[in-house]
Chains A and B, each alone.
Chain A
Amino acid sequence: MTGYLLRRAGQAVVVLAGVSVLVFSLIHLVRGDPIRLALGTRFSQETYDALRERSGLDLPLVQQYFTWAGRAVTGDLGVSFRSGDTVTSLIGERLPATLTLAVAALVVALVIALPLGMLSALHPRSLVDRVATVVSQFGISVPDFWLSIMLILLFAGVLGWLPSGGYVPIGEDPLGWLERLVLPAVATGVVSGSVITRFVRSSMLEALGSDHVRTAQAKGVPTRQVLTWHVLRNALLPLVTVTGVQLAYLLSGVVVVEIVFSWPGLGQLAYQAVRDRDFPVLQGAVLLFALVFLVINLLVDLLYGRIDPRIARR
């Protein structure tokens, strides 16, 4: 088990190094000069050169990469071109908001997906199943932008039940925190929930049709026991993967939802960084997203091993 873990961690480091090279070169290959963007439309050549030199953008690209990568290893991701803040502090400031939203959205997703997916698997082609199919189809295909606006118009506008957006830390105002969390969590969770619903349904169906379930039923094991011990355990396996992937996706910031609801998370930060060509921030954010994916994948694999010991032994 330890060897397996070490091997996987080693792989993760290699992947991360690869990602860093890729991110760095891609960002710098994209057209758009951050200095020109920062200075606006009116400036003198002297001002331009001075700022370029201060930002280190006048150095050769390879040198820029190694300076950046060398510092990144020690946890120093550089300084934002635009605000002058360190990238780690910017990310640190945004992380709690995104973490909160991601977890809340996942809760919403599972609350939708588990009962809906199970019910439709147990009663295929019933009314419940058909409604679930339509709802999940809707959830997958509806643009999150549109859904977010509709939620704002209905719950903040017409009904006036909830604020239209923003964020307050839970320590400051727990009720306000919850009120502001609901709509973005729902907007994000509906999409993930729809994806997960389908997986729950299909993996449940698959498990229901498998030989050992039929054997158990033939042996006269009570239905409830068959469902929990034989079906759910097997159906959980793919669900862990899908949920893991969804969480990683949510954590990397659901950009659109964060922007519509003025949710000060990583997605918003990354979006602004792309727009402003704020290379250090963008590189830091992408590196963090990659890290999140790798770690979550690793965790999913470990969890997999717990649920199905055959996998860890391989």
Chain B
Amino acid sequence: MTAMKGAQVVIVGGGVTGLSAGWWLARLGAEVLVLEKGIVGWEASGRNGGGASHSFSPLFLEEQRLWPQMDELLGYPTEFQPYRVRIGLTEENMAMFKRQMAIAARQGFKADVLTPDQVRELVPLAGDNVIGGAFYHYGGHANPQRTVQAYAWALQDRGGRILQHCAVTGFLTRGGRVTGVATDRGEFGCDNLVIAAGPQLGQIAAQLGAEVPVAPARAEMIVTEPLPLMKHGGTDGNALYGRQTLRGNLVFGGGPHEWLEEAPPGARAATTPLTRNLAGRLLELFPKAAHVRMIRSWAGIVENTPDGRPILDRLKTYPNAVVATMSSIGFGLSPASGRAIAELVLRGHCDFADLTSCRLDRFANLDPDWRRDRGWIQADAPTSAPAQA
């Protein structure tokens, strides 16, 4: 095997976070290499709900500015569709929508409260259980699988390199800097490093002496056969997230997740009988879809930080290394998170957003038992069960 070339910036992890960062870095003229242990976007980044309406985030403004341009900027389709219709079945739902609307309004975004009839007009599958709704003139959704490939191709079009089936196993350091990455396919030199390894982030950062607290969990989604297109695909409620795809399928998830002791690399995330609860919830949201057939389901593993907020920061121990986790809501924010990471790498700070709430040192005094305190622990079966022989 010929020696493989390192790069100015090496990125660990080919999910949306790593790929978007790589694409932005390549746009800004940096030489980039993304190392992915499997296939790009194979994990959470290709398995999520595709939602992009995160008004609480410091990256919201940039997320909203970028999404409508992404197909153009990347040169490949993402299936981005603007707007979001939210269906209220309870007073609690309505209160939450109003909270979200107020947060967005403060940042200059418009939203309308909808009457039950207006909801039913927009969403023919909705039923008599609707008590109201909301229409956000912002936000939206895209196709995660297509978006991930679009980032990957766009990055390559700008001269960046992606090495799939290449697992990072350790690092080379000298004088307080990371100088290279060790992998199962050899070593790669680097001037800067980005770790965007999703649920594996904690283990990988630990190899650089950094404690990055994340807890992995499994989440599930279901998909129906295609239906006639509703006016807006970004239609959800009843504590589900998801969308109607441009093909017409209803794709929805939500509800109980399962905390895992560790994220087993390489294991296909299992679906469980939760599928049936998701089917029931979807049916409550769209009573007129009772006859509609569910055709597929899947699960994905995401990581959460103790406060559910991103960590986008340089490491104190190795300032030329940036760690990046979006704490389980990274798809929608990816156009902006990638740009923020690129700025952290090249400039040491982010010019367009206030990343104070994303700093790693907020966890400096974290109780080592933080997972147990929050109850974020693997709940084993009531009685023992046969597993893999």
Asked if chains A and B come from one complex, the reply is no
Give B residues with C-beta under 8 Å from A.
Answer: none
Give A residues with C-beta under 8 Å from B.
Answer: none
